[in-house]
Structure formats: C-alpha cells, structure tokens
Structure 1
Amino acid sequence: MTAARATDDQILSAVRDAGSVRAAAKALGMARSSVWERVKRLSGTVQSNDTERAFSAYRGELGTKSVLPGFELKRTTAVLDRHGDVAREYVTQFKAPGRLAEIPAGRLLKGVSILKDSSGRVTQEWVKTREGRDPQDVIEAIKAAFEGYEGRHEPIPAPAAAGADLLTLLPLADWHIGAHSLGRETGTDWDLKIAEEVIGRAVENVVERSPASGLGVVLGGGDLMHADNQDNRTARSGNQLDVDGRYPKVFDVASRLTVRTVDAMLRRHDRVVVRILKGNHDEHCAVAIAHFLYALYRNEPRVAVDLDPSLFWYARFGRVMLAATHGYETKLQDLPGVMAARRAEDWGLTRFRYAHGFHIHHKRLLGFEAGAVVAESHQVPVAQDAWHYGAGLLSGRSIQTITYHRAYGEVSRAREAILDAQPEGNA
C-alpha cells in the first residue's frame, strides 16, 4: 500500500494497533518516513528528542487519558522505548471554553477584536457592544404601527371643463424662500411666515383667475430658496445673506409652498407638468425639491415632474415654442439664438416662440422681440433685503400666469400684484 492510498483513519488505526510508527509502517507495507509524516500532520505539534521518540496528537486520534471536568484535551505525548513500544504517555489539558456568547437584549454589536497565534489560529476574541435597538426590530415596530393605516390624502378631482387647446404657464420667479427683511431698515417686513402666507395666497388667487386649460406648467425659474446651505452665503461669491431660520426650516416652507402651488394647478387644469430650474442661489436644493415633488406625486397620473438637470427648459405646444433659463449663465438676450440652434426641429415646426428669463428681478427687467421670439424677464413676489434696498434698486412685485393657445400663441394673462408684504388682516 502506498502513502497516497492509505486513508487517515487507516494510518491512525495502524499506529494504535501496532503501538509504534515503525510497526504500523511494516503492517501497512509503507515506508516508515511516510507514515511518520502523516502522523505529524494529523497530530499537530511534534515533540521529539530523536527519531521516533515522541509524537503529539492533540486531537486525541491516537488515544487519551482521562480529561478533568471543565477541561479539554490539548495534546497527548507518547515516549517510545527502544523497541518502538509506548513507554510513557502524557496528556496536556487546557480549560474548556465557556458557553456560547450571546449579545444581551437591548445592546447591539459594536465591534469584534481577535487575537491570533503564529499559525493564524484564533486564541481569544472580544465582542464589543453598545446600547441600542436592532434596526430590524425598529422596522417591525413601524410596520406594526402602520398596519391597517389608510392614507388621508384624497386625489384632487380634475376640473369639469378644461380647454384642450390651452397651456397655462405659472413661472415661479425667484421666490427666495428664507430671505429676511427688517421693516425698520427696508420699509417692508419679510420672513418665512410672511412669505408662506403672501406667496401662497397670491398663487391660489392668480391660478383661480386663469383659464382652465388642458395643460398647466409649473416652471420654477431658479432661486426658489435664498440660501443653498446652512452657511447662509452664496455658493459662488460667498456673499453673506439675510436668512430667516435654519436650512431645514427654510426647506420645509419651500416644500410646502411648491406642493400648495401644484395642488392649485391641479384644481384648475387637467394635467400639470412641473419643472424646477436651478439658479445661482439654489443649485443643490432645486434638485432636492424636484425629487421631493417627483416622489410625492408619483402615484398622481395627472402630474408629471420633469427631472432634467440642465439649465434650460423647452416645450412645444402645437405651433407654440417655449424656452426658459434662470439667466445667471446664459443671458436672456442670448436665449433666442440657443433656441434656434439647439431645438431646430421645434423652431421649424412653430410660429410663436417665447423665451422666459429670471435672475435680474432687482435691476432692469427685460422685455423684447428678437426677430421671431418674444422674450421677457419676470417680476418676483419677495421683498428686497437690506443689500438690494441699500443699492437703491427698484422693481415691482407680482405673480402671473400666461395662457397660450396651440394655434394662436399667447391669448391671456392673469396677474396678482403684491401690494404689501403683510399677512392678511395686518395691512
């Protein structure tokens, strides 16, 4: 029999029966060295003073003595006499490990430290825990709390009659939610509470006075929020901003106002498209607001939220072409050329073309016809802050809708002037 053919059990059994490696090798018809190497591999650490004087078997395959309670066999050591018989046998024991460790209730696994010996075997292990609840338990608790819960939101019914050939555009022109103005300094008080009441009421009024249309468009023109982070500074220039409230509070008001706006458009128009453009004050929160609205109205078939991240918005409605950009990169006066170059097909299929711009609300409002395009920059509803007031800049404040007919272009407007910045009843 060869060493490769003899199994581990056959090797160990032969050594036990013969009492020595030499005798086992002879019984198996194998070389003594082959049997000895197999025994060493199976038995672990070898202790020997000279050839075949000792072998270790910490697994106990070669026989053991009594093991004390609470201890486990580590190794057995046999010393052979000159005839190859076992003269003495020693048993090495070590304290048996305790019960399997369990993480106590109310604690979570924080980390594990492992101590290894030179062979890479684990000799000790420390488990670190911390107070807390299992996330899975929290999930199950939330599921149980909401089991059987029915949402309170009721779908908004479509208007009884809406002009299928009409598109009504509602530009959200630089609302700057979060902007703060002290009346003693600027002549007009303005803060989060006033903004939510005044802008929200103006939106609902102007939408209600608009023609019921087959399509309504909520176009965020950029700068929906005054500050884009907790630092209350502009991201590009680092200018200090007068902001009312911490960022999460401001974002909350901006979210409520945009939802209030979309809901108002749903009550008046058959379908609503939402597009939130980025401005220089809200490059990040504009993305967040857009995705917030997308998630909120995902199951509303009459609302479509456009998540296009570009700085431009285009739409073709029959013979009408619309385009918009905030204006801090591409200026409004350059937008007609961009429309013709980038949307050549829409340009060729339309007769009435309109470009909408924002951003310059505290300076000189633009309105012009550039060949085949009517372009305009929109007024804002927000009051001036200290910097703009101190610079002597003047501009009107309003919110408006513009209604287009698919065959005739613009046919009507509804405008809500912001005559004062005080909540209703405090004028």
Structure 2
Amino acid sequence: MSKFRPRVTEEEWQILQLFRAEKAAKVFNGVKEITDGLDIDNTTVKHLWVKNKTASLFVKNPNFIAENHAQQTDFKAELIEDLKQYSPKFPKLERIENKDSYLLVLDPADIHIGKLCSAFESGETYNNQVAVQRVLEGVKGILQKVSSFNIDKILFIGGNDILHIDNPNRTTTSGTSQDTDGMWFDNFLIAKQLYVDVLELLIGVADVHFTFNPSNHDYTNGFFLAQVIETYFKNCENITFDCSIAHRKGFQYYNNLIGTTHGDGAKQQDLPLLMAQEFSKEWSETKHRYIYTHHVHHKTSKDYIGITVESLRSPSGTDSWHHRNGYQHAPKAVEGFLHCKDNGQIARITHIF
C-alpha cells in the first residue's frame, strides 16, 4: 500500500496557523490568570493541572523560562551593566628606576570562591566573605612585609581554582559535586571584584604582570573571568596580561625564569624538561629557574637539575571531603616571593591565617 501525505492550500495553511496561535494565546492567558490569582510568577511554572467539576486538564506553559536560562540571562545583563557603568581610565604611573630593586611574586593560590566549610563538621568556617577577607588581608600583609624593599615589578598569579564550581549544577569542570556557598553567577562577580581590588592596589606599588593558570575546578569560568579582567584593565599601561589557556606559563625577570602551572596535569618530575622545551629561549638566558605549582593546598619543594619546583599553600578552608580524608592540617596562607635580578629567589613571604 503506497503512503501519501495530504497537502493543504495556502489559505488552509493560514487558517491552521491562526488556529494554533489562538490556541497558544488561550493557554497562555489561562495560565497567567491562574498564576496571577495565586500570586505566582507565571514564567516559573513549567506546567499545571487544572481540575474542576466538569474537566481535568494538564497544560504546558508556553511562557515557562528554565531556571538555568533565567540565571544566565540575569547574570549576562548584570555583568554588562557593571562593565558599562565603570570603564576606568587609568593614568600612566611613571616609575623611578632603581638598580637595587626586586620582583615580587604574589600568588593567592586555590581561593575557591564558592566553597562552603562548616565549623560544625571541620572545625572552621569558610565562605565567600571569608575568602575575600583572607585574600585582601594576605595581599596587604605581604606588601607590608616587603615595604622596605624596592619593588620594580609584581608578577601576580591568577586562576588556580579562583572559583569552586564551573556550572549551575554545582560541580567542578569534570562533574564532581561540591558543597557551595552562593549562586555561580554571584561567585563570578565576587571573584571579578576581588581581582579588580587587588590589582588596583598592586599597580600603586609597581607595574604588574598578570598570569592566568587554568585549573580543574573552573577550567571554563576561570578562563572567562581572566578575559573579563584583562578587558577591564585595557586602558591601564601599568599592567600586562598573559591570559591564554596554556597550562604552563613562563615569565622572565632578568636572570630569573619563573614558570607557573596549576599542578593537576603534568607530573612534577616532568615539569623541568617541559619548561626547558616550551621556554627554551628564556631557559638559555637565565640561571635561576623556578616553577610554582598549586592544586595540593600544601607546601612541597624539590630541587631538580637547573630548576626548583615548589607548591603553594592555600587560604581556603577545610571542607567536608578534605576533613574526611584528613587533609585539614596544612597551614592556611597566602604566599609571595622576592626575586633578585642577579641571584634569584632571596625570600619567601608567608601570611598565615
């Protein structure tokens, strides 16, 4: 038996479209009338079941907006409005050259804005407010500790799990569920403002180079955040950026080569050869070489041939998973390092909480 498809005329098609539009309008008006009567936002109702004495009707709401979509729309609008309202013009700050000057490496590692730690379980409280307070206190504390040195350059390391989650489902990039404080879009804006406050503080001391390290908790949102920060300071001549998605970064300061990476990727013993391969020019021009890593939230340090690899402490608190596995005893801190032009790292500055 052959199959056939009935065809309609243009006039019949217009009648069908009109019928569909009238039907949709009736459904929308009916849903709106019911939700208005219950004092409910009709865009938050996906469907409803209307029952009375003569009928029982299941209705899908054509005006429903999914929560994730609504959150993304609100976040985008808020971020754009924030950037429109404050697009600063930074006057160029002239620096006085001093031969006896140093590089300050400032590295607030693994801040995890959005992490939630309960003192009832782990013995300490950590949330967005504590995270911001610790970073600002740590940065100011390190600047105070090095105030007697002539700083001519600051290398600020960003990224490295600045955000605790990477999506509205409250998971890391790979899908690991997390205990969280606040909504993902609020955390993004909190992190943005924290970086703005820190960088505006630092450029008052010396010219800044901002290096971004992608990381496992916020591989996508961390990258977007770094791009927003670079755009924010586009009119500032006293700050430069390296915000590529590359997992390992290198920075040369006279006789120093300073590499940074999050630490969740290449094995520690492979990092020296990777640095020599990926930054061969800088390697050949320097004598003192370092790689600063993150991710593990505690101190490790090892000398290899021609380079030292050191991991940094974190200011973030102990959550349920870390407490359960006994990882809560590492000091909570923000760390910095002083590098001499000729002799490499001469001091480690630690602000412990």
TM-score (norm 2): 0.72
Give the secondary-structure state (helix, strand or coil) at the position aligned to 2:331: coil
The CA deviation at 1:333 is 2.8
Give the secondary-structure state (helix, strand or coil) at the position aligned to 1:214: strand
Structure 1 residues 381-403: Cα deviation after superposition (integer angstroms, max 9, x where no partner):
01110110111112111112212
Counterpart in the other structure of 1:386: 320
CA contact (8 A) 2:92 2:237 kept: no
Larger of the two Rg values belongs to structure: 1
Distance 2:93 2:160 in 1: 28
Q: 1:247 to 1:266 in 2, by over 3 A?
A: same
Distance 2:348 2:160 in 1: 21
Structure 1 residues 112-136: Cα deviation after superposition (integer angstroms, max 9, x where no partner):
xxx958xxxx9xx99x9x9xxxxxx
The answer on 1:314 being equivalent to 2:250 is yes
Counterpart in the other structure of 1:287: 223
Counterpart in the other structure of 1:405: 340
Counterpart in the other structure of 1:89: none
Q: For residue 281 of structure 2, what is the amino acid of its counterpart?
A: E
The answer on 1:267 being equivalent to 2:201 is no
Give the secondary-structure state (helix, strand or coil) at the position aligned to 1:226: coil
Counterpart in the other structure of 1:166: 102
Distance 1:399 1:357 in 2: 13
The CA deviation at 1:373 is 0.5
The CA deviation at 1:196 is 1.4
Counterpart in the other structure of 2:194: 257
Aligned equivalent of 1:344, options 276, 280, 300 = 280
Give the secondary-structure state (helix, strand or coil) at the position aligned to 1:382: coil
Counterpart in the other structure of 1:180: 116
The CA deviation at 1:230 is 1.5
The answer on 1:326 being equivalent to 2:326 is no
Give the secondary-structure state (helix, strand or coil) at the position aligned to 2:236: coil
Q: For residue 202 of structure 2, what is the amino acid of its counterpart?
A: M
Structure 1 residues 318-370: Cα deviation after superposition (integer angstroms, max 9, x where no partner):
211111111111133321111112222221111100111111115xx320100
The answer on 1:247 being equivalent to 2:184 is yes
Q: For residue 259 of structure 2, what is the amino acid of its counterpart?
A: A
> Number of residues paired by the alignment?
282
Counterpart in the other structure of 1:215: 153
CA contact (8 A) 2:92 2:238 kept: no
4+ runs deviating over 6 angstroms: 149-152
Which one has more relative contact order, counting CA pairs under 8 Å at least 6 apart?
2
Equivalences for residues 9-88 of structure 1 within 5 A: none
Counterpart in the other structure of 1:372: 306
The CA deviation at 1:190 is 1.0
TM-score (norm 1): 0.60
Give the secondary-structure state (helix, strand or coil) at the position aligned to 2:219: coil
Q: 1:156 to 1:241 in 2, by over 3 A?
A: farther
Q: For residue 346 of structure 2, what is the amino acid of its counterpart?
A: V
